[in-house]
Amino acid sequence: MLNLLKKNEEKNEENSPQNMSFDFKLFFVYHIAMMILFGARPIDNPINQAIFAGSIGTAILIISVAHKIKYRWNWPGLSWTSIPASIFNLAFLYGFFAFAGYSMNPNVSAPDFLRTDIFALLQELWTIMLQGFNLPTFTPWFLAGIGIMVFGILSNLKLVTLKKDEFEAQCNPS
């Protein structure tokens, strides 16, 4: 029993906010900004919402790169699963956003998944996603999902880390 409690305590320490990487904290800043955009809706135009998200994303990218340079970070390279995992993330997000687009638009009937022309189906799904994206009440929701996908792909490609100690292990000591 004590051994189990000790393992649980070690896991909690490992996953504590103190062990959260700087990149992961920046991801939360982006995500919180999208939730404010979603809830308070200070910007009510989908294009301006996307520009706002892009501006925050660009600022976060610059801050992250500067942080990596400051700590002399070294990219650990790709693993054999990095590219397939990234492609899976993209495909999953496409399907998830398509489902969300259909769910958000009650005037559109469900797609015919039995059709044999996959490219026509993908094009229809894309059109439905764009319709959902152009609704200012849902645009921040899509932008938050894009942020999750981008962070997931960057994590798969080992360009960002989730844990501080993992980041520190990739840095050259001064």
36-66: per-residue pLDDT in tens?
998 888 998 999 999 999 999 999 999 999 9
Q: Is residue 138 part of a domain?
A: yes
- Please give the pLDDT value at position 146: 93
Contact 131, 106 (CB under 8 A): no
Assigned token pair, 147: 């942020």
Residues 46 and 93: their CA atoms lie apart, in Å, by 19
Q: Is residue 106 part of a domain?
A: yes
Q: Is residue 8 part of a domain?
A: no
Q: Is residue 10 part of a domain?
A: no
Q: Is residue 2 part of a domain?
A: no
Q: Is residue 174 part of a domain?
A: no
**pLDDT level of residue 76 (50, 70, 90 thresholds):** very high
- Tell whether the model's pLDDT for residue 32 goes beyond 90: yes
**For 77-90, how does the pLDDT look when each residue is reduced to its tens digit (9 = 90+)?**
988 999 999 999 99
Q: What is the pTM of this model?
A: 0.81
Phi first, then psi, for residue 114 (nearest 5°) are: -90, -5
Number of domains forming the structure of the chain: 1
Q: Is residue 7 part of a domain?
A: no
- Please give the pLDDT value at position 2: 62
Residues 11 and 7: their CA atoms lie apart, in Å, by 6
Q: What is the DSSP string of 116-165?
A: S-HHHHHHHHHHHHHHHHTSTTTHHHHHHHHHHHHHHHHHHTTSS-SBHH
Domain that holds residue 116: 16-169
Q: Is residue 1 part of a domain?
A: no
Angle value at C-alpha 167, between 162 and 168, nearest 5 degrees? 145
CA nearest to 78, candidates 152, 149, 157, 151: 157
